Structure 1
Amino acid sequence: MPSALFVVSEKGYWGEECVEPLTTLDDAGFDVTVTTPTGSKPVIDDTSIDPDNPFVGAETAERVEEVHETDERLNDPVPIAEVDADDYDTVVFPGGHGVEWDVNQDRHARSLLRETLEGEDGKALVVCHTLAILAFARDGDGEPLASGRDVTGFPNEWEADIVDENDLLPDGRKLPYWVEDEVEAAGGNWDAEVDQDVSVRVDGDLVTGRGPRSSRAAAETLLEELGVQTST
């Protein structure tokens, strides 16, 4: 049975970006493990389960919240420091603003991504705000993992519609960095394809997805890259 590791934020993950890949890989027969920085239950961004949010809707909010509350793997994660990339066929990094404070800054998470991309068989899926980890993590030569890679992720154009002039989020937290800026500064070939409904890019063993509405397509692309046959 193929295996997947999901690296999920304790500071606020975006529900759809986790649940869509999780259920997609479940349906494909993957054995899924969830990990968080400390091993505590991941925290969901309340905005991502708000039925009145036009980017979420009632159906998605209900489905995502149910998975968040009832999925045993999300309720009993393991610490990132205790997992090994070699034990999994793929590692998935869902997004959400919360990752800017924990997953992207976690040295074990960065090592996990590096080992996945530099290993012989592993593949990684990185979505939305977690793309910034590619700017902060280094490869075996000390270069940013973003350097020279074709990627998509949460664009500045969208971020500008969320934060105020002081980079404050609606919940009062100050955004520490903008994903697009960090990835481009680290040498990534950034194209979020903002004129497209979905944006997914593949560069070697790395699959990246722009945001919530690209998360299912990104997961399906990951399966294709892994050579997994699906019924859809």
Structure 2
Amino acid sequence: MTKKILILLSEWGYWGEELVGPLSKFDERGYSVDFATPTGKKPTPLPPSLQPDFIDPPLGRSVVSTEVAEMTRKVDESDRLDHPINMKDWLPERPYTSDDNYLRKLEQYNDDFDKISDDIAKYDTMLIVGGSGPIVDLANNERVHNLILAFLKAGKPVAAECYGVACLAFARDWENRKSIIWGKNVTGHCKEYDYKDGTGFNGADINIGPPPYPLEYILRDATGPDGAYHGRYGHKTSVMVDYPFITGRSTPDSFLTGQKIVEVLEDGLTRWGW
């Protein structure tokens, strides 16, 4: 049976290679792919991820090859991303405790959320693509957190790249508030890769300087004493498989992340990278 993948993308800009790297591996295998965004808008690549002459400040070199830039451009100009699933319409949102008739609304919320199990059943895994955009509309998005929890409840692996890994750190059971990656080994955007200046987003004429939070510190805390964050700074790639999670550090890890997702689905890979 053909594998089916759900890919989550920010509406504030994704990094091109972090989409086309895994996507190319899925396409090679003939996997079916659905895309989703927070409000159903078409996602767009961050402009630097289309520019082979862009010099990444922390690395002091280009991180965009001509080939990958062209791959990203082709996907962006195709119709593949034109009509993503609207997560706002698909997934319910937990009511405020201050809402009138809160208990009845909470019961309805739980009933509605239970109904998405049939939708989840058709997917084999989900992937959260990185870039600066997820900082804005994915990392602290309750619907994203609940979708992750639904995949885990269904016994399905979950993958994330770069700043998309923040979603895993913040996805928590409502009762105990403990991160789902507690006790796990993960990677994600390391402190040495953070910009000191130049963090921006599509659709906003703004430069917020450095990222608003250091992802490495969050992941170190979220994994707890029995898990670990692995930045592997000084190594060309960093991808971790600690089932049911597959995590990729940053742009150079994108194709390898896709390959490891394939190996999890096809070969039963449960541990790799540390």
* TM-score relative to the length of structure 2: 0.76
- Aligned match of 2:135: 100
- Aligned match of 1:147: 182
**Identity in percent:** 32
Q: Output the CA distance in 2 between the equivalents of 1:86 and 1:80.
A: 17
The answer to whether structure 1 residue 63 and structure 2 residue 58 are counterparts is: no
- Aligned match of 2:42: 41
- Aligned match of 2:166: 132
- Aligned match of 1:223: 262
Deviations 1:67-105 (A, max 9, x none): 1221x2312111124264333101011100110000112
Bigger Rg, which one: 2
- Aligned match of 1:193: 232
- Aligned match of 2:196: 163
In 1, are the aligned partners of 2:14 and 2:129 still within 8 Å (CA)? yes
Q: CA deviation at 1:4?
A: 0.4
Q: Output the CA distance in 2 between the equivalents of 1:87 and 1:138.
A: 23
Q: Output the CA distance in 1 between the equivalents of 2:173 and 2:150.
A: 9
- Counting matched residue pairs gives 222
SS at match of 1:186: helix
In 1, are the aligned partners of 2:185 and 2:223 still within 8 Å (CA)? no
Q: Output the CA distance in 2 between the equivalents of 1:228 and 1:19.
A: 22
Letter in 2 for 1:195: G
Instruction: Name stretches of at least 5 consecutive residues in structure 1 with no aligned partner.
Output: none
Q: Output the CA distance in 2 between the equivalents of 1:203 and 1:28.
A: 23
Q: Output the CA distance in 1 between the equivalents of 2:173 and 2:266.
A: 25
- RMSD of aligned Cα (Å): 1.9
Deviates more, 1:184-193 or 1:87-96: 184-193
Residues 68-83 of structure 1 mapped to structure 2, 5 A cutoff: 68-70=76-78, 72-81=79-88, 82=90
Q: Output the CA distance in 2 between the equivalents of 1:49 and 1:38.
A: 24
In 1, are the aligned partners of 2:189 and 2:249 still within 8 Å (CA)? yes
Q: CA deviation at 1:185?
A: 2.2
Q: CA deviation at 1:135?
A: 1.9
Letter in 2 for 1:21: P
